[in-house]
């Protein structure tokens, strides 16, 4: 799980997790991150929920039926999975392992249940960020503007939001999405700093030894 950093020092890839109640702006922030941060690959989940207008198979999700999902989970093809709003969601294992092996970081848009499972499996490689909406009114407004879900689904999502929020303290970082540019800048700073963490930079010992050799010549 190593790749070269920009400064030539090898490091382990990291698993960058974004979670939030739906409507807190996480999808927009994930898109901005993958567009603007090099070496960050989005993990595309499998789900049993119906496709929403505008979504694309293989880009937003792999849309599968329940039987297919159960088969994937049973064969160990999912790194983690959870039931959210009566639908199943899970992270296909192979693309994540391939990206990390190629020295890329992987971005996950998953809920708190999935985050817990990833943390149990790879604590040192998981960096988790929880995004909070600035207010309940703001969350509701975003769910309505998205206009992808029925009123009934939106009501369900609002009432689940409070429960999801209760998991905030399990995350490494908390970002309040008052302003999308500001929130993006904060998340970008987190990723940049985490990429520089000493423990992740497997190439440092050799790099410093080499420096010392040159200095002592
Ligand atoms: P949505 O239906 O709005 O796309 O997603 C609903 C929730 O499921 C979001 O909180 C999202 O983060 C979560 N989710 C999406 N994919 C996965 C996954 O692969 N695993 C887990 N645990 N949660 C997921």
Do the domain assignments include residue 71?
Answer: no
The distance of Cα 20 from the centroid of its chain, to the nearest Å, equals 10
Ligand 1 atom 12: residue of nearest CA: 110
pLDDT at residue 184 in the model: 97
108: its two tokens? 């996950």
| pTM for the predicted model, two decimal places | 0.92
Do the domain assignments include residue 113?
Answer: yes
Do the domain assignments include residue 112?
Answer: yes
How many independent structural domains does the chain possess?
1
174: its two tokens? 């908390």
Q: How far is 39 from 49, CA to CA, in rounded Å? A: 29
pLDDT at residue 130 in the model: 98
- Within 8 A by CB and 6+ apart from 209, the residues are none
Q: Strand 87-92 to strand 46-47: parallel, antiparallel, or no bridges (unpaired)?
A: antiparallel
* CATH number, position 8: 3.40.50.300
Do the domain assignments include residue 57?
Answer: no
Do the domain assignments include residue 50?
Answer: no
Segments forming the whole domain that contains residue 12: 3-43+104-215
CA–centroid distance, 36 to ligand 1, in Å, is 22
- Within 8 A by CB and 6+ apart from 150, the residues are none
Local confidence pLDDT in tens for the 217 residues of the chain: 455 566 789 988 999 999 998 888 898 999 999 999 988 999 999 999 999 999 999 999 999 999 999 999 999 999 999 998 789 999 999 999 999 888 899 999 999 999 999 999 999 999 999 999 999 888 888 888 876 778 888 888 888 888 899 999 999 999 999 999 999 999 999 999 999 999 999 999 999 999 999 999 8
The preferred substitution site among 29, 78, 109 for testing ligand 1, maximizing ligand atoms within 8 Å of CB, is 109
């Amino acid at each position: 799980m190593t790749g070269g950093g920009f400064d030539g020092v090898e490091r382990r890839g990291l698993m960058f997790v974004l979670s939030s109640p739906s409507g807190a702006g996480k999808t927009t922030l994930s898109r901005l991150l993958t567009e603007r941060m090099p070496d960050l690959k989005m993990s595309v989940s499998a789900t049993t929920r119906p496709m929403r207008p505008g979504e694309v198979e293989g880009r937003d999700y792999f849309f599968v039926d329940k039987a297919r999902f159960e088969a994937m989970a049973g064969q160990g093809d999912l790194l983690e999975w959870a039931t959210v709003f009566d639908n199943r969601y899970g992270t296909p294992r192979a693309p994540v392992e391939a990206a990390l092996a190629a020295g890329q970081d992987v971005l996950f848009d998953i809920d708190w249940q999935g985050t817990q499972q990833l943390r149990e499996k790879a604590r040192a490689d998981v960096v988790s960020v929880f995004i909070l909406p600035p207010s309940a009114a703001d969350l509701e407004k975003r769910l309505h503007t998205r206009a992808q879900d029925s009123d009934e689904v939106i009501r369900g999502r609002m009432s689940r939001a409070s429960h999801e929020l209760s998991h905030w303290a399990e995350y490494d970082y908390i970002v309040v999405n008052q302003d999308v540019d500001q929130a993006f800048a904060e998340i970008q700073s987190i990723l940049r700093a985490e990429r520089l963490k000493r423990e992740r930079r497997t190439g440092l010992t050799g790099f410093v030894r080499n420096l010392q050799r040159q200095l002592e010549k």
